[in-house]
Amino acid sequence: MGRFDGKRIIVTGGTSGIGKATAIAFLNEGAQVFIVGSDKDKVLKTCNELKHTALVGLHQDLERTENIAIFFKKLVKDKGSFDVLVNSAGVSHFCPATEESIENFQRTMKINVEAPYILSREFARQKTSLAKRAIVNVESLMSFQSRPGMSTYAISKGAIHQMTQSLALDFVSLGIRVNGVAPGYVDTPMVAEMKQVPELDQWVKDRTPLNRWAEPQEIAKAILFLASEEASYMTGETIRVDGGTLASF
């Protein structure tokens, strides 16, 4: 028996990295998992790779935020209500603020902030008899600090951290807990190029007291904890899974 037997879970960004690891972890705990990806081919590839009868792949471009509410309403109408929403999808790029384009800034805000906000709102609006539900947002070290060239990403992750706290208060009367996970440096496709540069790879290890990159599965474990009844008295909280990075300076 898994902790999530009979539960229905939505994971955005479920085709790679933290989102994929989270989807697999929920499947292993007995849940039916719906992964949402902006790339239709990657969604299909992930479903074919995992070959799990409880896995459903959904294509939705989260940059097209005007379509998200319609997408979610149709999903609930066709498939029924959901117990857990994991907002894991995100984008990042390096660019000094003096060189940043408004187009890149707006795209980052749409995917990293506006999309999870709309998804969370529609999740909360479900007409359901479910008494206990949960939202888990994937935040970042950049929710609390920044680095040169990372202003756009850091601003978006600061916003998602505040969203975690604000929606926790708005949704508490609906029986929905809202929490966040702030990963440190995680070995995912998003940082593949950075990890291949020996100097940058070593910088991350030196900056992290545990002296290594995190594995996506380690972040997924924290997400499942926050989504489970083990965290039944937690809402508006963010767990840092960063190898001790923010504890040092």
pLDDT class for 1, splitting at 50, 70, 90?
A: low
**Integer Cα distance of 159 and 205 in angstroms:** 27
pLDDT class for 150, splitting at 50, 70, 90?
A: very high
pLDDT class for 4, splitting at 50, 70, 90?
A: very high
Q: Is the pLDDT of residue 170 over 90?
A: yes
**Integer Cα distance of 213 and 133 in angstroms:** 31
Q: What is the pTM of this model?
A: 0.95
User: Could you tell me what percent of the chain has a pLDDT over 70?
Assistant: 100
Q: Is the pLDDT of residue 108 over 80?
A: yes
211 Rama sector, left if φ>0, alpha if ψ -120 to 50, beta otherwise:
left
Domains defined along the chain, listed by start? 8-247 (3.40.50.720)
pLDDT class for 129, splitting at 50, 70, 90?
A: confident
Dig out the tokens for 68 from the structure. Answer: 């998200």
Q: Identify the three-state secondary structure at position 6.
A: coil
- Angle at CA of residue 54, ends 48 and 60, nearest 5°: 65
Q: Identify the three-state secondary structure at position 9.
A: strand
pLDDT class for 196, splitting at 50, 70, 90?
A: confident
Query: What is the predicted pLDDT for the residue at 128?
Result: 80
Please name the amino acid found at residue 170.
D
Instruction: Identify whether 185 is a catalytic site residue.
Output: no
Neighbours of 123 (CB within 10 A): 27
Q: Give the phi and the psi of residue 242 in degrees, each rounded to 5.
A: -130, 15
The one catalytic residue among 117, 153, 185, 233: 153
Q: Is the pLDDT of residue 119 over 90?
A: yes
Dig out the tokens for 249 from the structure. Answer: 């300076």
End-to-end CA distance of the chain: 43
pLDDT class for 190, splitting at 50, 70, 90?
A: confident
**What is the 8-class DSSP label of residue 197?**
S
pLDDT-wise least confident of 17-21, 29-33, 87-91, 193-197: 193-197
**Average pLDDT, whole number, for the chain?**
95
What distances in angstroms separate CA 124 from CA 36, 73, 241, one per listed residue?
18, 11, 27
